[in-house]
Structure 1
Amino acid sequence: MKGFIFAVAVCAALLSGCEPASSPSGAAPSLEPVAGTVLVKNKVMFPEGIEVSFNGRIFQYQLVQNVKGEFDRYIVHSTDGMMGVEGAVFASLAKQGYTRRIRKEVPGQFVVNYVKKGAATIIATFSDHSTKAVGDKTKSRAVFTWKIAG
């Protein structure tokens, strides 16, 4: 019986430091990101905290897991042409010491690796995007993928 009372007392002491689930104003609590990844409509947060803004929006985010590890993948739709988006991305990454290695360049598609010693390689595929929906002003699509450190 003493063990049970002791266990209840320990649980009560541990729970006394917990705060209620809702804020004093009654609003729902804000959710903090677990690993620091924040999705913003018109920005991609690249490795090392590099933020790149663009005209358009993040269309999709994927966490890809396979035998090679875990990867972040962002799919972006932009109202700029594919080379305009690539230029903005490269300008931001170059300021942080990344270089560009072109993997493939054909009409309508540009595939490049952004490389920096000691940092994750960013694989980017830029392509023309033909508008299919009425009112959609998307001109290009970009897919950014990099391995998550760990």
Structure 2
Amino acid sequence: MCELASKCWTQHITSFTSQVIKATINVVFQATDMVDTAGERQRLGRRLGQQIAARRKAMDLTQDQLAERLEVDAETISRFERGATVPSLVTLDRLAKILSSSTAELLSASSAAPSDLAIQISQILAELTPEDSEFVVSQIKALCRHFQLQVRK
């Protein structure tokens, strides 16, 4: 009787161990699928760098000025723009705010980015009080309507 119980117990342990090993292998393969490859990271870094550089230039900022606002070295901005380094998520979020953008826009392959003028106007408005900002926007709208009417005449 003891021999039979021992045999059953051994088979049960062997079956359980086999299941644990299979589950572990599945988890390892799934985790491997979630890890980025060096090529993907480089492509993302270059694309992000191009977006950062384009936004910075549209706002008439130098790398030094952007670095100062982000509280990093200018070399860090240079590395970001070259795609040599990818910023952390926290830094990326701060960069997006400084560049009047969203993290999604900075990461997108094809940007539906506003024009350089829109970015400049947005930056100017951001420095005003909300009331002054509303006034400037109303004046811009009035001027646009005026010019549109002139074109129709």
Query: TM range, normalised to the smaller chain?
Result: under 0.3
Task: Give the number of the structure whose alpha-carbon radius of gyration is greater.
Answer: 2
Give the TM-score taking structure 2 as reference length. Answer: 0.26
Give the TM-score taking structure 1 as reference length. Answer: 0.26
Greater fraction of residues in helix:
2
Greater fraction of residues in strand:
1
